[in-house]
Amino acid sequence: MATTASAATTAHPELNRWVPRLAIAAAALHFAVAFTVADWRGIVGNGFVNTVGDAAVPDNDVRMATLWFFMAGMGFLAFGTFARWAVKMTGRMPAQIGGYLLAAGVPMTIIQPVSGGVLLTAIGVLALRAARHDPAAKPGA
């Protein structure tokens, strides 16, 4: 049953708007990197199929980074659009969004401190904060 929640169902309405925006912006950043740093000419020129992961290819590291930046962008896009939909339908940010982002961001930040892990962690913390529901503002109460 999909119903739009009332405006007073959450304690953090601004974060409910900003978390999806930040996730979608992170997706756009990942797509931009994937399409500007990439060796697409080499990937397409080699037939596109099975052109990433071959250690014999001189620029394989760049191709691998391209693939994973693109895939990470898809993940951010999925998180952002799902979070926006969930907030629109329920008035609340799902805590799972924050949990998943933290589950990916914290280890990444520990393993590689100068990375996107910090961004993942920050958006995850904001999502968890947005998910904190004000019990006094239950829908239908």
* Cβ neighbours for 122, distance < 8 A, ≥ 6 positions apart: 105
Whole-number Å distance between alpha carbons of 97 and 105: 12
pLDDT at 82 over 50: yes
In whole angstroms, give the CA distance from residue 84 to residue 93.
8
Tokens 């760049």 sit at which residue? 62
Q: Which of 8-17, 56-65, 94-103, 116-125 is the least confident region?
A: 8-17
Q: Nearest CA to 119 among 84, 82, 73, 88?
A: 73
**Computed over its alpha carbons, how large is the radius of gyration of the chain?**
19
Q: Dump pLDDT digits (tens) for 18-61.
A: 999 999 999 999 999 998 887 788 788 888 888 888 888 878 88
- Whether 80 and 21 have beta carbons less than 8 Å apart is answered as yes
Q: Who has greater pLDDT, 133 or 17?
A: 17
Indicate the pLDDT class of residue 9, thresholds 50, 70 and 90: very low
- The two tokens of residue 44 are 């397409």
Q: Is 106 exposed, middle or buried (0-12, 13-18, 19+ CB in 10 A)?
A: middle
Percent above pLDDT 70 for the chain: 85
What pLDDT score was predicted for residue 136? 47
- Residues 52/43, Cβ–Cβ less than 8 Å: yes
**What percent of the chain lies above the pLDDT cut of 90?**
53
Q: Is the distance from CB of 137 to CB of 10 less than 8 angstroms? A: yes
pTM above 0.85, yes or no: no
Measured from the Cβ of residue 137, the count of other Cβ atoms closer than 10 Å reads: 16
Q: Residue 8: is its pLDDT beyond 60? A: no
Q: Is the pLDDT of residue 118 over 80?
A: yes
